[in-house]
Amino acid sequence: MAVVELFRALGDPNRLEIIKRLSTGKPYTINTVTSGLDISRQGARKHLQILVDSRLVMLETKGRDTRVSLNQKRFDEGKAFILDIERRWDQRLEALRSVVESD
Amino acid sequence: MAVVELFRALGDPNRLEIIKRLSTGKPYTINTVTSGLDISRQGARKHLQILVDSRLVMLETKGRDTRVSLNQKRFDEGKAFILDIERRWDQRLEALRSVVESD
DNA sequence: ATAATATGCAACCATTTAGTTGCATAAAAA
DNA sequence: TTTTTATGCAACTAAATGGTTGCATATTAT
């Protein structure tokens, strides 16, 4: 299930912080998007790689530095999962309501 | 950040399966909601506890067995996060578009 | 009363994860 | 051309995670 990998990737404060930064749409490099994370460069790089592996983030080498960007589409899969859960749940409430009303 | 814990809890196939089952709204006990997960009862119980700790799931002891239910509200926090990311990103696209149009 | 069922608690183990440090290299700046 | 900057790769460690087994206990069914 691809959505598991997505949630897994989002389930870390450093990675979520990277995602937040990228969501602004400002141009980022590996260096800038991981700056100030209170872990080493290599630690941050690993988190970034997890985001890349989960297809939430894309890298593009550009001379000396590497451009980092968000793959917005990927979020839709997570959104779809949550919406589906909520929809089913709402159906349950609806079913419950109709039973009550049939009395 | 509470949303990290939420995503973290969702980032496991067994836990996601439990969530899916609960979303149907059918009544479940610890036993029934974890049945057939291909791990031991205690293993499944640990996953369930993680869902409880993340406030996605609620337990209520009822005699010999324990009723398990979904806390639908909690999903809204995850949805809100994703929607926020997407909104920011769309704003970026919008800003980009207006720059192009100003030429 | 006895047996079966649904659960809890704790110890343990293997693997994964999050983090580090050290070293290497190509591109850009001085 | 020398130095700085942005990056990569690999080895290592500590802690967390996912899983197990064994044993205990209260409730329900026979």
pLDDT at residue A97 in the model: 72
Find how far residue B36's CA is from the centre of its chain.
20
Higher pLDDT, A78 or A1: A78
Of B10, B2, B13, B22, the closest CA to residue B51 belongs to B10
Across the range B75-93, mean pLDDT stands at 91
Domains of chain A with CATH codes: 2-101 (1.10.10.10)
Query: What residue type is assigned to position B55 of the chain?
Result: R
Residue B92 confidence class, pLDDT cut points 50, 70, 90 = confident
Please name the nucleotide lying closest to A47, CA to C1': C18
The model's confidence at residue B102, banded by pLDDT at 50, 70 and 90, is low
pLDDT tens-digit readout, A34-92: 999 999 999 999 999 999 999 999 999 999 999 999 999 999 999 999 999 999 988 87
Contact indicator for A28, A48 with CB cutoff of 8 Å: no
- Region B73-96: mean pLDDT is 89
> pLDDT by residue (tens digit) across B3-23?
999 999 999 999 999 999 999
Tokens of B14: 């067994």
- Gap between the Cα atoms of A37 and A54, Å rounded: 20
d(CA A15, CA A29): 15
Per-residue burial over A45-62, b = 16 or more CB atoms within 10 Å of its CB, e = otherwise: eebbebbeebebbeeeee
Instruction: Inform me whether the pLDDT recorded for A103 exceeds 60.
Output: no
**What span, in angstroms and rounded, lies between the C-alpha atoms of B88 and B80?**
12
What residues have CB less than 8 Å from A88, skipping those under 6 apart? B23, B24, B25
Is there a contact between A89 and B10 if contact means CB atoms under 8 Å apart?
A: no
Minimal C-alpha gap between A72 and chain B (Å) = 7
Residue B60: is its pLDDT beyond 90? yes
Over the stretch B19-36, which tens digit does the pLDDT of each residue have?
999 999 999 999 999 999
Six token digits for residue B66:
């324990």
pLDDT value for B99:
72
**Rounded CA gap, A3 and B48, in Å?**
19
CA distance A69 to chain B (A): 11
